[in-house]
Chain A
């Protein structure tokens, strides 16, 4: 008897499928309903000031679908009528200005693919392996193509006074989120974006307008952007003093740790993506990124770091974007101790967690870019471990 998937006529071959009017805005197949953002309830007091995680293990390539981009907000996701939205530029400028969304859309625009990583990504792992799944250990990241206006064009329209050295972007949400950003970065590559992956920003990503701060920690990418003030000094607001500062063992804290260090993770096999096919050909897939440039090389080990091989990079290599890598092996059915190590275009090599702890201790919360280990047993089951 042959395979019934072949020998029997399947209903989808016999009966007519959906018409083109069934789903004016399409959704993934119903067989993909496990591919969702997930939360870790015990992390925060309430879902309105919380975070969820991108299912990296279920995705491939470098672009994150909009509905799966992790969310982090501090006062809930604001629903804003674009007709009622305004962007004000004030402070140390020649002419304080107000833009409508229509005004913004008349500036020359650019397209760029950038990763956005929360500074706290992997932050629960400082004291050791804690969460079983790369969605939870590494899922505070997404990578999309933004369409937006270079911030320097908007600032230039208002005219920056010579003493204007910092900007303070502010959100229109119930947290009125603010961060201080040096003018050099504002004039370099920041965008005021209104589209992601071709469509309007999702509500939870700051619709109708968000700031894009390439390579820098996600908290600075102010969503629901309504105001940019130009000033001569930083503001030292809550999210750059009480939060997003990195406490060291001596009781002092690093502040303004904006750049995201080079990092990588194997997304499959991983705890949520075990090997189900047994020994033989195995695709090891992963992602790497750096806030300082591109990723020309990723090393992968299957024996916990005794020997390393260079992975195969696939897809476009774009500045401050995710990069996809693969190592195609023949699995012998023996346990695997999988790790990946990113090299960025500045020559920086992703450190071990232990090397980071030796410098920073275990209480710095943010910027944990240490090498991740997955242990895969003979059955193909993967778990989050640390190794000697």
Chain B
């Protein structure tokens, strides 16, 4: 006998029980008619609850070109520059010129018809409201929705200034916002494919003797920009071979006592796990573990016990460059609890970890993950 025999044997029982339990009149229980393909369009079900005004106020932050949604507040160019240098320049550059592949925010005027257009807030964005809305909802990257309205007005004013659209004594506010005209406001038009393309691309195409010759005019291989997995795999294989070639005696079992003799206490796995969650706040800018690279922030391998500002190839703030000492647990805790207070001028735009247990957890995680 196999399992199926048992299933079949119990079926009649189940079926009769289901029939017995069925209510005499089921019609009233159906929301939609049993035969209908779609649910009715106009039936309200009374689900959900009314949103409170104070809840809507917190979530409804969007701003429109006509200024709808702008909060009370104002900010001037000079204040904006201070905030920008501290919180934005690490990715966008001190003058909005863009670092690495992060977005360029300034310039690009008269480039839209060129071979390589530069689309910036100044050269391309049609509405200032979009600048305010986006900074307010998504910036600084990795610390979104941490800015106050005055800060957002100030950064927006500074971007206008860097794009030569206002003078250095300009103050942006809800009152004068709608008066700022963006250079490319008239640069957009509605999708017109229905008129300009669809008629051209409709109709029976050629099936036979459509052309005389076929020549290759361009090959992707010439550019050679496809990710090279073979090379990456070979590198990984080399590493694996090195590890395999290492004498048995150097393998894992001996490693634990060795690190204990270095004075490191055994790491609590639960704390490490908790720390991994806390580290999510850092991941936008920092990498840790195998192959960790410098990103917006330096890679964090062996950061616990590492000298301050010691990672090659990372451009630290003047503050950190000037600091002496090592990141021991005490120093790291103080820094991560309030980065701006511990190292005034640091480029790390992170508000800080308020809970002592988060600090302990993240340090445990960095120790474990960064070895």
Q: Which residues 306-332 in B have Cβ within 8 Å of A in the complex?
A: none
Contact yes or no, A90 B60, CB < 8 A: yes
Distance of A351 Cα from B198 Cα, bound (Å): 10
Q: Nearest-CB distance from A52 to chain B (Å)? A: 11
Contact yes or no, A48 B284, CB < 8 A: yes
A347 to chain B: which residues have CB within 8 Å? Answer: 202-203
Q: Nearest-CB distance from B281 to chain A (Å)? A: 10
Of the candidates B50, B133, B138, B200, which one forms a contact with A95 in the assembled complex, judged by CB atoms under 8 Å apart? B50
Q: Which residues 218-267 in A have Cβ within 8 Å of B in the complex?
A: 226-227, 229, 231, 233, 235-238, 241-242, 245, 247, 249-259, 261
Task: Say yes or no: A170-B284 contact (C-beta < 8 A), given A131-B225, A383-B220.
Answer: no
A238 to chain B: which residues have CB within 8 Å? Answer: 130, 133-134, 138
Q: Nearest-CB distance from A355 to chain B (Å)? A: 7
Closest residue of A by beta carbon distance from B229: A38
Which one, A23-31, A61-69, A297-305, A315-323, is touching chain B? A297-305
Q: Which of A168, A175, A176, A355 has the most CB of B within 10 A?
A: A176
A309 to chain B: which residues have CB within 8 Å? Answer: 207
Contact yes or no, A236 B220, CB < 8 A: no
Q: Which of B124, B142, B198, B219 has the most CB of A within 10 A?
A: B219
A39 to chain B: which residues have CB within 8 Å? Answer: 227
Q: Does A195 contact B (CB under 8 A)?
A: no
Which one, B9-17, B34-42, B159-167, is touching chain A? B34-42
Q: Does A215 contact B (CB under 8 A)?
A: no
Contact yes or no, B214 A305, CB < 8 A: yes
Q: Does A106 contact B (CB under 8 A)?
A: yes
Q: Which residues 93-138 in B have Cβ within 8 Å of A in the complex?
A: 100-102, 112-113, 117, 119, 121, 124-127, 129-130, 133-134, 137-138
Q: Does A40 contact B (CB under 8 A)?
A: yes
B212 to chain A: which residues have CB within 8 Å? Answer: 306
A95 to chain B: which residues have CB within 8 Å? Answer: 50
Chain A contact patch, size range: 35 or more
Contact yes or no, B47 A308, CB < 8 A: no
Which one, A9-17, A150-158, A204-212, A274-282, is touching chain B? A150-158
A259 to chain B: which residues have CB within 8 Å? Answer: 191, 193
Distance of A252 Cα from B190 Cα, bound (Å): 11
Contact yes or no, B39 A349, CB < 8 A: no
Contact yes or no, B39 A74, CB < 8 A: no
Task: Say yes or no: A129-B49 contact (C-beta < 8 A), given A90-B60, A229-B60, A349-B203.
Answer: no
Distance of A131 Cα from B124 Cα, bound (Å): 28
Which one, B18-26, B51-59, B172-180, B359-367, is touching chain A? B51-59
Top 3 closest A-B pairs, CB basis? A304-B214, A108-B39, A45-B101
A residues in contact (CB < 8 Å) with B: 38-42, 44-46, 48-49, 74-76, 79, 88-91, 95-100, 103, 106-108, 110, 128-133, 136, 150, 152-153, 156-157, 168, 170, 174-176, 178, 226-227, 229, 231, 233, 235-238, 241-242, 245, 247, 249-259, 261, 271, 299, 303-309, 337, 341, 346-351, 355, 359, 363, 375, 383-388
Other 12 A-B pairs with CB < 8 A, given A136-B226, A236-B126:
A79-B280, A97-B50, A103-B47, A168-B62, A176-B138, A176-B144, A236-B127, A242-B134, A247-B117, A252-B187, A252-B189, A305-B211
Could you pull out 7 A-B pairs where Cβ atoms are within 8 angstroms? A45-B91, A76-B283, A153-B39, A176-B137, A229-B62, A236-B127, A349-B205
